[in-house]
Amino acid sequence: MLVIMRTDASEEEIQGVLSRLKEADLEGHLSAGEERTVIGAVGRVVDPDMRTAVGTMPGVDQVVPISRPYKLSGREFKPDDTVIDVGGVRIGDGNVVVMAGPCSIEDEDHMVSTAKAVKAAGAHIIRGGAFKPRSSPYSFRGLGEEGLKHLATAREETGLPVITEVMSIADVETVARYSDILQIGARNMQNFNLLDEVGLVRKPAMLKRGLSGTIEEWLLAAEYIMAKGNHEVILCERGIRTFETATRNTLDLAAVALVKRMSHLPVISDPSHGTGRWQLVEPMSKASVAVGADGLMIEVHPSPDHALSDGAQSLTFENFEKLMRTLETVGAAVGRPLAPRPGELAAV
Ligand code: PEP
Ligand code: MN
């Protein structure tokens, strides 16, 4: 249920509701909006009598049951967009944030030179995989912690925040030590124990949509992370598996537009994995921005034909630079300009 506080509710009255919920074994999640505070009460079962009881407490305006299975991630709980600040980069505030870098971190020079190139072209956040989920056990599976060190070097050299995937519970602490955002890959969208663990971390998490995840399952997966206390969740549409084989996946841009309505969480689009073809990255990036994505995740490689993973969908430095220039124009045309970078002033 949602406990909607009166606009003039005092801090003491808010605390009163929180402790009453605790008594009833319900967890209270606070959403302090511009106009009023809403408390999401989450637990296995909410007794209807409890709804009446809380409804009579001082400072409470009304209590409404949440009709949807996802609660904390839904707009009912929090009507305002969630904005996540990652080292000065604001994700979800109406501007477009670009995360870019190689699929896999191959060595230090490869990671650092790619990070510098994408920074020069205007990227906001550096990506690179150290723990790689691969369909075949014989494919390159990443450098592990050594890769994370190269990513940390890239972070130092560029001053930009970094994102990388965490695949297992055992690595959550290590990845959180090196990375500014924890990426949960498509194949782990419903790895509920991993979601729980990432929910305990106090760093933003980016949750990719599963290969066959419905929108409701995706939001429920976000709910796992949020229910553990980590409300800084970014959603990422990276294409779903359909009957079509001409593209690697089907980038579901209707899902981006729909999830923006259903949820207050920022939504990123990944046209690299969403199409599997570098030639389609620019058109689908433009489309993503136009439908309201809060940002893009783009794979870039100094020499895509030598990439240890996902070369076919990786842009060269030159093509990435061209994409960024195009996004400036398209972003401005649809009212979603590229976000300023830390230390840079917003365009006026
Ligand atoms: C990736 O970002 O490199 C990746 C493995 O993505 P996904 O989980 O979407 O396949
Ligand atoms: Mn990849």
At 30, which CATH number?
3.30.70.1140
Pair 172, 166: CB distance under 8 Å: yes
CA-based end-to-end distance of the chain = 42
Is the predicted pLDDT of residue 182 greater than 70, yes or no? yes
Ligand 1 atom nearest to CA at 187 = 8
Domain-embedded: residue 71: no
In whole angstroms, give the CA distance from residue 116 to residue 159.
10
Answer whether residue 34 shows pLDDT above 60.
Answer: yes
Residue-level pLDDT at 136? 95
Q: Residues 6 or more apart from 201 whose CB is under 8 A from it?
A: 172, 176, 182, 230
Tell me if 46 is assigned to some domain.
Answer: yes
Same domain, residue pair 9 and 56: yes
Query: What was the pLDDT predicted at 346?
Result: 57
Using DSSP bridges, classify how beta strands 97-101 and 27-32 pair: parallel, antiparallel or unpaired: unpaired
Task: Kindly report the number of other CB atoms within 10 A of residue 75's CB atom.
Answer: 15
Question: Is 214 found in the same domain as 168?
Answer: yes
**Does 93 share its domain with 221?**
yes
Residue 180 and residue 130 share a domain: yes
- At residue 345, the pLDDT reads 61
State the closest ligand 1 atom to the C-alpha of 129, by its place in the atom list counted from 1: 3
| Selected residue with higher pLDDT from 65 and 163 | 163
Of 62, 95, 93, which Cα lies nearest the Cα of 264? 93
Q: Which residue's C-alpha comes closest to atom 1 of ligand 1?
A: 103
Nearest listed ligand to the Cα of residue 134: 1
Name every protein residue with a CB atom under 6 angstroms from any ligand 1 atom.
Answer: 103, 129, 133, 185-187, 208, 238, 273
Domain membership flag for residue 57: yes
Give pLDDT tens digits for 312-338. Answer: 999 999 999 999 999 999 999 999 999
Q: What is the mean pLDDT of residues 144-160?
A: 98
Mutating to test ligand 1, I would choose from 99, 143, 162, 165 the residue with most ligand atoms within 8 A of its C-beta, which is 165
pLDDT digits (tens, 9 = 90+) for 245-284: 999 999 999 999 999 999 999 999 999 999 999 999 999 9
Whether 291 and 159 map to the same domain: the answer is yes
Query: 20 φ, ψ to 5°?
Result: -65, -40
* Residues in a beta bridge with 111: none
Q: Give the nearest ligand 1 atom to 239 CA.
A: 9
C-alpha closest to that of 270 among 262, 287, 258, 261: 287
- Nearest ligand 1 atom to the CA of 132 is 5
Residues 89 and 60 in one domain: no
Do 156 and 24 belong to one domain? no
Q: Tally the domains of the chain.
A: 2
Mean pLDDT of 98-113: 98
| Residue 73 counted as domain residue | no
Rounded to the nearest angstrom, the distance between the alpha carbon of 271 and the centre of ligand 1 is 11
Tell the residue nearest (CA) to atom 4 of ligand 1.
Answer: 185
pLDDT value at position 47?
A: 80
Nearest CA, atom 9, ligand 1: 186
Q: Are residues 90 and 47 in the same domain?
A: no
CATH number of the domain that residue 88 is part of? 3.20.20.70
Mean pLDDT of 10-35: 93
Mean of pLDDT values over 32-56: 87
pLDDT greater than 60 at residue 5 = yes
Give 163 Cα–ligand 2 centroid separation in angstroms.
13
Q: What is the pLDDT of residue 114?
A: 98
**43 and 163 both lie in a single domain:** no
Relative orientation angle of helices 317-333 and 108-121, to the nearest 10 degrees: 30
Residue 307 has pLDDT above 80, yes or no: yes
CB 121, CB 317: distance < 8 Å: yes
pLDDT of residue 143 exceeding 80: yes
Nearest CA residue ID for atom 6, ligand 1? 185
| Eight-class DSSP state of 198 | H
Q: What span, in angstroms and rounded, lies between the C-alpha atoms of 67 and 48?
A: 14
Measured in Å, residue 290 CA sits from the centre of ligand 2 at 24
Give residue-wise pLDDT tens across range 203-225: 999 999 999 999 999 999 999 99
Asked whether the beta carbons of 34 and 62 are under 8 A apart, the reply is no
Which ligand 1 atom is the nearest neighbour of the CA of 183? 2
| The pLDDT of residue 343 | 77
For the CA of 185, the nearest atom of ligand 1: 8
Closest-approaching ligand to the CA atom of 297: 1
Instruction: Determine if the pTM surpasses 0.85.
Output: yes
Decide if pLDDT at 44 tops 80: no
Is the pLDDT at 347 greater than 70? The verdict is no
Is the domain of 331 the same as that of 212?
yes
Average pLDDT over residues 146-162: 98
Distance 74 CA to ligand 1 centre (A): 25
Note whether residue 79 is domain-resident: no
> Where do the H-state alpha helices sit in the chain?
11-23, 48-55, 108-121, 145-158, 172-178, 192-199, 215-227, 253-262, 271-275, 281-291, 317-333
Nearest alpha carbon, ligand 1 atom 8: 185
Domain that holds residue 244: 84-347
